[in-house]
């Protein structure tokens, strides 16, 4: 798919479907044909920039954000948070908005809501859930059975939504993939790795870097496991894979940056050389799984251990830091990771990617600079505090103020996984047996074209610096990472898949549309509610009108009719270009 000029993310046009098209009820195995027609027409017809409409007639409660202190008149009263503003915030911070969460944000404010999420306990770990569900049997030693289930379980159903949001974001920066883990208990390997990301989502970048580096999953994926010192007699050299990627992808990137992410001195200057990589690879020698076997998966969540016979004990250098000969492997690793984590590039390089995952594809240099400053110092002299970084990202003026029509570079094409999770959380997708058999959704023609922890390479599903070629975005040099996996097939595949899951769920999972069915006789109220929850402030008046006309043309006499109206409303919003691209 090629973006069109004058809008950051728009779709080609096509004739619209009749507004009065009827949407028959569907069985779980056979979605309605009219639903496909309506959604396809919306996806191809409602083009143009978003943000021009309003969903102010929301059925969600509208309470004030904060209380007014009558005894302290000199203290400014925080402005009330509208339902639309709360829903937009929740889409960024928690995948989705619900009635209860919108009301909570309006009641206590953005910062206090984030604090509540920081304090929320973790739910059962992925690894423990797989054991509890009996996946630790020898029959699963060479497959990924159970891991997709537990990933969807938490991304969709876990109440600590901000932690899950951050975990998904980190999984797309510190990438391992089921496409490259040919070892025993590979499903548990993935589960243990995501548990590391989740455990450190509100913690320290330096600690996360440590645990990722020594994790069996990363050790296998990027060849640090089994890495051995040089052996001149045979010409063997240490493997450089992890040494290269920990710099290029997980910490400092390729080019020297200012604190705001712009190029240092206004020109491209490499952050490291091949010699840097060769030296760092020597630091990463000697590491191996801690007691792996094919009878039980315990090794998958134990950090790797160092085998002295494989470790390079000579003098080394880690990104400019000398490591004397005889330095023990664990100490040398600490010195190297301290140096990497302390590099000035880390704050803007990691900070910008987190902004992209949560808020906008092309953040301004000033926004990156403010987030980098929070990374460098959380206000108490601590560097790399993800809590401070998350607050800086989500509370920044560029994230919180209402979008202006003139801001054509604001927003992002929502990645398919986030769209699906948003729908699922918004409408209470549940798994009656706790099986969560949603499965692998990577097929772009019939599913999402993306599925958690199934990236095709270590470079993620899309690159953070991707600029779509042959487009207005390309002409203006605007980054839009998600467009790297967007094309005609995936766009149509999204609509086709949506018309299935909106009606029937996926596998044994089912959505709950009770609140929407209750107001479905009023097409206007129904569409405004769905638009508020799924696309707060993004749908233009023309698009809202088009969807409302289509829904109003469907019968509403019976509860079955009203459910069909709800399904049509949800599907048409999910198919709208202004939903796919949100400010």
Rounded to 10 degrees, what is the CA torsion of 156, 158, 159, 160?
A: -100
Q: Which residues pair with 385 in a beta bridge?
A: 204
Contact by Cβ (8 Å): 574, 543: no
Q: Token digits for 7? A: 């809008």
Element holding 321 (H helix, E strand) = strand 321-323
pLDDT of residue 73: 55
CA distances from 453 to 7, 73, 103, 304, 336 (A): 31, 52, 33, 21, 27
Instruction: Spell out the alpha helix ranges (H) of 66-185.
Output: 83-94, 99-108, 110-119, 126-132, 147-157, 161-171
Angle at which helices 83-94 and 523-534 cross, to 10°: 40
3-state helix, strand, coil in the chain (%, to 5): 50, 5, 50
Among 459, 426, 211, 509, which residue's Cα sits nearest to residue 334? 211
pLDDT of residue 77: 67
> Per-10-residue mean pLDDT for the chain, 583 residues long?
34 33 33 41 37 36 37 66 97 97 98 98 98 97 98 98 98 97 97 98 98 98 97 96 98 98 97 97 98 95 98 96 98 98 98 98 97 98 98 97 82 96 98 96 95 97 95 93 94 96 97 98 98 96 98 98 98 96 85
Q: Which residues of 204-231 are buried (b: 16+ CB within 10 A; e: fewer)?
A: bbbbbbbbbbbbbbbbbbbbbbbbbbbe
Q: Which residues contact 391 (CB under 8 A, 6 or more apart)?
A: 111, 114, 374
Half-sphere exposure (CA, 13 Å, Cβ side) for 427?
29
pLDDT of residue 582: 84
Angstrom distance (rounded) from CA 206 to CA 171: 16
Angstrom distance (rounded) from CA 414 to CA 412: 6
Q: Which residues pair with 323 in a beta bridge?
A: 316
Q: How many CB atoms are closer than 10 A to CB 182?
A: 8
pLDDT of residue 409: 80
Angstrom distance (rounded) from CA 166 to CA 391: 12
| DSSP 8-state code for residue 77 | P
Q: Using DSSP, state whether 582 is helix, strand or coil.
A: strand
Element holding 316 (H helix, E strand) = strand 316-318
Q: Token digits for 420? A: 């699906």
Angstrom distance (rounded) from CA 146 to CA 137: 11
Half-sphere exposure (CA, 13 Å, Cβ side) for 64?
6
pLDDT of residue 51: 34
Report the DSSP pairing between strands 581-582 and 412-413.
antiparallel
pLDDT of residue 71: 53
């Amino acid at each position: 798919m090629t973006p069109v000029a004058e809008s950051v993310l728009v779709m080609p046009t096509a004739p619209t479907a009749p507004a009065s098209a009827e949407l028959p009820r569907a069985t779980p195995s056979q979605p309605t044909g009219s639903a496909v027609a309506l959604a396809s027409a919306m996806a191809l017809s409602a083009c143009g920039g978003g943000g021009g409409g309003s969903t102010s007639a929301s059925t969600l409660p509208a309470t004030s954000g904060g209380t007014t202190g009558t005894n302290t008149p000199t203290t400014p009263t925080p402005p009330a948070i509208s339902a639309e503003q709360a829903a937009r915030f929740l889409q960024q911070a928690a995948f989705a908005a619900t009635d209860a969460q919108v009301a909570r944000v309006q009641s206590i404010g953005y910062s206090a809501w984030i604090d509540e999420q920081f304090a929320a306990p973790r739910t059962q770990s992925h690894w423990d859930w797989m054991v509890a569900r009996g996946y630790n049997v020898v029959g699963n030693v060479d497959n990924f059975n159970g891991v997709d289930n537990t990933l969807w379980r938490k991304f969709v159903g876990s109440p600590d939504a901000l932690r899950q949001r951050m975990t998904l974001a980190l999984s797309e920066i510190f990438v391992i993939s089921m496409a490259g883990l040919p070892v025993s208990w590979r499903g548990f390997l993935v589960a243990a790795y995501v548990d590391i990301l989740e455990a450190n989502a509100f913690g320290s970048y330096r600690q996360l870097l440590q645990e990722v580096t020594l994790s069996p999953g990363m050790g296998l994926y990027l060849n640090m496991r089994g890495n051995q010192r040089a052996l001149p007699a045979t010409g063997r050299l240490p493997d450089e894979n992890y040494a290269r990627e920990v710099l290029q992808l997980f910490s400092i990137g390729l080019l020297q940056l200012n604190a705001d992410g712009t190029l240092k001195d206004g020109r491209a200057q490499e952050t490291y050389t091949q010699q840097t990589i060769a030296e760092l690879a020597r630091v990463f020698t000697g590491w191996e799984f801690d007691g792996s076997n094919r009878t039980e998966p315990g090794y998958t969540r134990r950090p790797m251990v160092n085998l002295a016979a494989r470790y390079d004990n000579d003098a080394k250098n880690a990104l400019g830091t000398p490591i004397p000969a005889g330095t023990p492997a664990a100490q040398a690793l600490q010195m190297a990771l301290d140096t990497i984590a302390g590099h000035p590039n880390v704050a803007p390089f990691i900070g910008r990617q987190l902004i992209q995952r949560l808020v906008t594809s092309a953040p301004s240099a000033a926004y990156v600079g403010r987030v980098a400053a929070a990374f460098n110092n959380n206000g108490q002299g601590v560097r790399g505090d993800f809590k401070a970084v998350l607050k800086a990202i989500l509370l920044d003026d560029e994230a919180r103020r209402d979008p202006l029509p003139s801001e054509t570079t604001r927003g992002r094409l929502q990645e398919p996984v986030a769209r699906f999770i948003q729908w699922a959380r918004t409408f209470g997708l549940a798994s009656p047996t706790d099986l969560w058999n949603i499965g692998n959704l990577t097929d772009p023609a019939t599913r999402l074209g993306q599925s958690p922890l199934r990236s095709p390479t270590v470079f993620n599903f899309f690159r953070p610096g991707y600029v779509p070629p042959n487009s207005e975005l390309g002409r203006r040099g605007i980054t839009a990472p998600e467009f790297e996996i967007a094309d005609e097939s995936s766009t149509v595949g999204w609509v086709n898949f949506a018309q299935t899951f909106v009606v029937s769920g996926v596998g044994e999972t089912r959505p709950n549309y009770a609140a929407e069915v209750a107001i479905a006789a009023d097409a206007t109220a129904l569409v405004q509610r769905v638009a508020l929850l799924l696309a707060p402030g993004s749908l233009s008046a023309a698009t809202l009108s088009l969807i409302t006309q289509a829904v109003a043309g469907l019968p509403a006499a019976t509860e079955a009719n009203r459910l069909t109206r709800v399904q049509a409303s949800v599907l048409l919003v999910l198919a709208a270009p202004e939903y796919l691209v949100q400010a």
